Amino acid sequence: MSSSSDSRRAASRRRHDVGKLVTGEWIVDRTSARQRRILHYWLTLLWFTVGLVLWIVLRNDLWFVGFMSLYAIWITHLAGWAAETPVESEDESRS
């Protein structure tokens, strides 16, 4: 009876690990909110510069689709950056 409960726990743990991999929660476990804010900041700047230049170069080909894609990327990174902004102090120790 013990071996069947151990195998169920192991299977549950594997599903949990795969779920964390699929949802990206493994990144949250390994980084702080400050690191994720910095990442979103730099990715936003990257898309504001490189993405805008590419969109201008390719503006004659599906310009509206290109603009809306860039807009979606910009808003997503800005929203991610805002979501990682702390409500409480990050200096407190985690429990």
Q: What is the pLDDT of residues 23-44, one digit of tens each?
A: 777 777 888 878 888 888 888 8
The residue type at 37: R
For residue 6, what pLDDT is reported? 67
pLDDT at 16: 65
Q: How far apart are CA 69 and CA 94, in angstroms?
A: 38
Q: What is the pLDDT of residue 11?
A: 63
Residue 3's identity, in one-letter code, is: S
Divide the 95 residues of the chain into consecutive groups of 10 and give the mean pLDDT of each group.
66 68 77 84 85 80 78 83 69 54
Looking at residue 25, its pLDDT comes to: 78
Task: Indicate the DSSP class of residue 91.
Answer: T
As a whole number of angstroms, the distance between CA 91 and CA 78 comes to: 24
**pTM for the full model?**
0.54
Residue boundaries of the structural domains of the chain: 1-30, 32-86
